[in-house]
Amino acid sequence: MLLELTIKDFAIIDEIRVVFEPGFNALTGETGAGKSILIDALGAVLGERIGPDVVRTGARSARIEVSFDVAELCGRPEVAAALAEIGVEPEDGLLILTREVAAGGRSSARINGRSATAGMLGRIGAYLVDIHGQSEHLSLLRPAEHLEILDRYAGLLGDRAALGTLVAELRDVRGGIAEITGNARERAQRLDLLRFQVDEIDAAGLRMGEEEDLATERAVLLNVERLARDATGAYALLAGGDEGLDDVGPLPALVALRQASRQLADVATVDEAIKPLAARAEELLYLLEDVAAETRSYRDGIEADPARLIAVEDRLDELKRLKRKYGTTIEDILEFREEAARELEVLTGGETSVEHLRAREAELLVEVGARASHLSAARREAGMRLAADVERAIAELNMGRARFAVALSQTPAPSGVPFRDEEGMVLSVTVDETGADRVEFLIAPNAGEALKPLGRVASGGEMARLMLALKSILSAADATPTLVFDEVDVGVGGRSGQVVGEKLWGLSSAHQVLVITHLPQIAAFADVHFRIAKGERQGRVVSQVDTIEGEERVDELAAMLDGFPVTAVSRANAREMLERVEGWKRGAGTGYGEPVAAGARS
């Protein structure tokens, strides 16, 4: 639901803030006061294109900010997906869209404070608001939306989802068949390549950690002489001996430690307090003897091996070559091998696999065709009901003997799905996750005219009333929370205005409705009434918006009925109109008929 709209330096608007309410919100005022500018500003913040000409003269930039309560809307998967796509998460169910355009032409957009594009505003805005009238933001003019609307109206979304699951499986099965039975030459080349790759990796006999072990061994082989010299010197320092002993000094470490250990043991026989120290010296002696023994063993094991060094170097070169071809590590190479082996298994086992897949394809074609045919038949029946409902609504709006139709068509495809049409003939057609049908709404606004797509209906006011008729029928199926109607009363007289008001108020049982109107018969149905007026401030024309109620509202309706100055008679007529409307809302039917079904509310 639209909560608040703030506009600054946009056209003749200096700065205004409008807080909207649930239900029916009416905006009235003199021509040129800025009513349609509000809609233009709302369209801009919903992603419509705007240029620097909207910036108020003398201002550096124009800014529009709008906030929505989307707590309930976020439960719809498509809305949640759209928000996730642009990386926005509503805070406490609140979504704030901002659009700013500089006098120099640069524009910027934000969603909940995060930078966005006009396209992002448009994608989110399409779920939030439908603007009918002067704006092009009309979901019902987009044929792509007609299928969704019809299925919601008919309650077929569950059936369509079930069909979509089968169509997705059929697509996967056909993809598997195509992969196995592809071009024979390409398949043979692929098989040869895969076999070579698997064999080459297997022949290498790779093991995890091998490269690190080889690098360590190579370092040892390259430094044999230095390692032997250093190990011999270390052993001489520890234990003495013929090799390197002359350079050790007075006593090797083990000899000195043995002497110290014996002397401390002798001291301990006299002074027991020194026993712990003597024990530690003895422990050190044992440890040093172990170190000396292992050092000698290491020294004796060192020997030059040029042949082994060559073998290690060759093995490292082989690993480097394999890494260049199959991955940066041995783990990557082995993973590549497993993937190649799996693909090889699929391709070499193709005869068995393709038979299974073709059998499943045949089953799916029958099932998908039956479900698509059933879904199409249900849509045809629902389309006729929808057309009848819309024509009744159009007649109530005094649009003459306009005709409405829902056209269904299918796309033939030689390798498509078997589909039974309304005459019982079986055709081969294209089927996607939504079924076999392309749906489009058609209208003949005047008697004797041919049915045409909605988008070719030229009159803005006629289009707005047509949208109102459709919305009154589809209100339960239309998930857009806020509906805006501009020019809905163009060419509408007082008698028809009453019916238009009834339908608009009926829509407000399931939607928030914003209406710009010149007719008091429509404005009288509003739950909240805003008056837009223009005046002068410091020699410049500015617009302001006020919520009116009580006597102010009576005066506004009176002025809309008879103009200025407002008289006692026009006030009395306005009060009587409000009383009649309130009685109608309560279902009293005081001379204007019972409330329409869409508007029956407690």
- Residue 431 sits at φ, ψ, to 5 deg, of -130, 130
Pick 341 or 141 by higher pLDDT: 341
| In the predicted structure, residue 351 carries a pLDDT above the cut 60 | no
What is the spatial distance between Cα 462 and Cα 134, in angstroms, rounded to a whole number? 11
> Which residues are bridge partners to 2 per DSSP?
68
pLDDT in tens, 368-418: 999 999 999 999 999 999 999 888 888 877 777 778 899 999 999 988 999
Q: Which of 222, 209, 207, 210 is nearest to 308 (CA)?
A: 222
Region 51-71: what's the mean pLDDT? 90
Region 115-128: what's the mean pLDDT? 88
Within 10 A of 100 (CB to CB), how many other CB atoms are there?
A: 19
Pick 195 or 12 by higher pLDDT: 195
The pTM assigned to this predicted structure is 0.59
* Exposed/middle/buried for residue 68 (C-beta within 10 Å: 0-12, 13-18, 19+): buried
Pick 177 or 108 by higher pLDDT: 108
What one-character-per-residue DSSP string does 110-154 give? EETTEEE-HHHHHHHHHHHEEEESSSS--GGG-HHHHHHHHHHHH
| In the predicted structure, residue 476 carries a pLDDT above the cut 50 | yes
| In the predicted structure, residue 209 carries a pLDDT above the cut 50 | yes
Residues of the chain with pLDDT > 70, as a percent, come to 89
What is the spatial distance between Cα 127 and Cα 111, in angstroms, rounded to a whole number? 14
What pLDDT score does 241 carry?
61
What pLDDT score does 406 carry?
94
What pLDDT score does 136 carry?
45
Pick 181 or 123 by higher pLDDT: 123
Q: Which fold has domain 1-135+460-548?
A: Rossmann fold (3.40.50)
| In the predicted structure, residue 475 carries a pLDDT above the cut 80 | no
What pLDDT score does 422 carry?
87
Token pair in block for residue 545:
């918006």
What is the rounded average pLDDT for all residues in the chain?
A: 84
| In the predicted structure, residue 182 carries a pLDDT above the cut 50 | yes
Pick 175 or 384 by higher pLDDT: 384
| Cβ contact 508:481 at 8 Å | no
| Cβ contact 479:128 at 8 Å | no
Region 163-192: what's the mean pLDDT? 84
| Cβ contact 128:135 at 8 Å | no
Packed helices 494-507 and 350-396: angle between N→C axes, nearest 10 degrees: 140
What is the spatial distance between Cα 15 and Cα 107, in angstroms, rounded to a whole number? 19
Instruction: Find the DSSP H helices in 508-537.
Output: 520-523
Q: Which of 209, 203, 200, 213 is nearest to 326 (CA)?
A: 200
| In the predicted structure, residue 26 carries a pLDDT above the cut 60 | yes
Region 316-333: what's the mean pLDDT? 91
What pLDDT score does 592 carry?
41
Going by pLDDT thresholds of 50, 70 and 90, the confidence category of residue 67 is very high
Region 218-233: what's the mean pLDDT? 82
Q: Using alpha carbons, list the distances in angstroms from residue 182 to 172, 175, 179, 354, 362.
A: 15, 10, 5, 11, 19
Place of tokens 């003269």: 57
Residues of the chain with pLDDT > 90, as a percent, come to 33
What is the spatial distance between Cα 492 and Cα 4, in angstroms, rounded to a whole number? 30
Least confident of 136-140, 164-168, 364-368, 428-432: 136-140
| In the predicted structure, residue 161 carries a pLDDT above the cut 50 | yes
What is the spatial distance between Cα 390 and Cα 466, in angstroms, rounded to a whole number? 9
What is the spatial distance between Cα 546 and Cα 553, in angstroms, rounded to a whole number? 11
pLDDT in tens, 523-553: 999 999 999 888 777 767 778 888 999 999 9
What is the spatial distance between Cα 316 and Cα 308, in angstroms, rounded to a whole number? 12
What pLDDT score does 131 carry?
82
In three-state secondary structure terms, 440 is: strand
